[in-house]
Amino acid sequence: MTAQLQFRNLTLGYERHPAVHHLDGVVTRGALTAVVGPNGAGKSTLFKGIVGILKPIGGSVDLCGLAPRDIAYLPQVADVDRTFPINVYDMVSMGLWKCTGLFGGIGRRERDRIHEAIAAVGLTGFENRSIGTLSGGQMQRVLFARLLLQDAHLIVLDEPFNAIDARTANDLLDLVQRWHAERRTVLAALHDLEMVKAHFPDALLLAREPVAWGATGDVLTAENLLKARHMCEAFDDEAHECAA
């Protein structure tokens, strides 16, 4: 199996205090992997390290030949500025930046792709709506439409189904399954363990450091979940800084 990501003794953190440490392993190309763990386990931190927002304190993330433009990243909804004065059409069109450049022109072909992406997430007719007027589920649909246009090899989703209605979650999960069928590599941070068991073949259980990684059924055991909870509860946020 060809590697899409490789972690080598990876440590990530803030102001040299570790939030994820001693992570080793490989994500194979085309994998559909859920990253799970208690609150504060380091899931968002790991994703920021993968996409380059955070630089490693120690170790490394090997993108195995991927360029940054080949990675699509969906942050948590709380990290998206809903007050920015932009409508749905323009927000989705930003997914074409790697084809057109930030200030490139959008022709007929690009406009067709934008409308197709909006239709794929069920928002036809919302093109001129300001994003500030959208519900949480509608906004998440917009962000998924933008991801569709990015046409990325690696898709990183941070809590993509959090605080949205069940119908929206199911519709967006269908898009995730579509990406998996297209042999794209998808990593998703999730809390819903039943969803993970039903739809994600692989899982990484994280509690500041890896607890288990592999086939979902082998990872999400009662013993492993209890261990992860205890590890997070015992973690010392005042731990010594990592050496420079």
Note whether 173 and 241 are same-domain residues. yes
Q: Is residue 73 part of a domain?
A: no
Count Cα neighbours of 229 within 13 Å in the Cβ-side half-sphere.
7
Q: Which of 91, 76, 45 is nearest to 232 (CA)?
A: 45
Beta-strand relationship, 3-14 and 58-62: antiparallel
| Tens digits of residue pLDDT in 180-195 | 999 999 999 999 999 9
If asked whether residues 107 and 162 sit together in one domain, one would say no
Mean pLDDT of 197-206: 98
The SS3 of residue 93 is helix
Are residues 157 and 235 both part of a single domain?
A: yes
Q: What is the pLDDT of residue 241?
A: 38
* Predicted pLDDT at 104: 59
What is the predicted pLDDT for the residue at 43?
A: 96
Residues 46 and 89 placed together within one structural domain of the fold = no
Q: Which of 151, 183, 212 is the last residue of a domain?
A: 151
Residues 55 and 120 in one domain: no
| Sequence-separated (6 or more) residues with CB below 8 Å from residue 1 | 28, 29
Final residue of a structural domain among 134, 151, 168: 151
The pLDDT value recorded for residue 82 is 84
What CATH number has the domain bearing residue 46?
3.40.50.300
Boundary residue ending a domain (94, 122, 151): 151
- pTM (whole model) above 0.75: yes
pLDDT at residue 239, as a whole number: 45
Other Cβ atoms less than 10 A from the Cβ of 76: the count is 16
Q: Which of 67-81, 89-103, 110-124, 211-225 has the lowest mean pLDDT?
A: 89-103
Same domain, residue pair 160 and 48: yes
If one counts the domains in the chain, the total is 2
- Are 159 and 61 found together in one domain? yes
**Is 105 or 70 the better-scoring residue by pLDDT?**
70
The answer to whether residue 105 scores a pLDDT higher than 70 is no
pLDDT tens by residue, 2-60: 999 999 999 999 887 889 999 999 999 999 999 999 999 999 999 999 999 999 999 99
Angle at 130 between CA 108 and CA 84, to 5 degrees: 100
State which residues form the domain around 98.
82-151
Across the chain, mean pLDDT equals: 91
Task: Give the least confident one: 69-78, 84-93, 109-118.
Answer: 69-78
Q: Where residue 237 falls among pLDDT bands split at 50, 70, 90?
A: low
Per-residue pLDDT of 125-151, as tens digits, reads: 999 999 999 999 999 999 999 999 999
DSSP assigned state of 130: B
Q: What is the mean pLDDT of residues 212-222?
A: 98
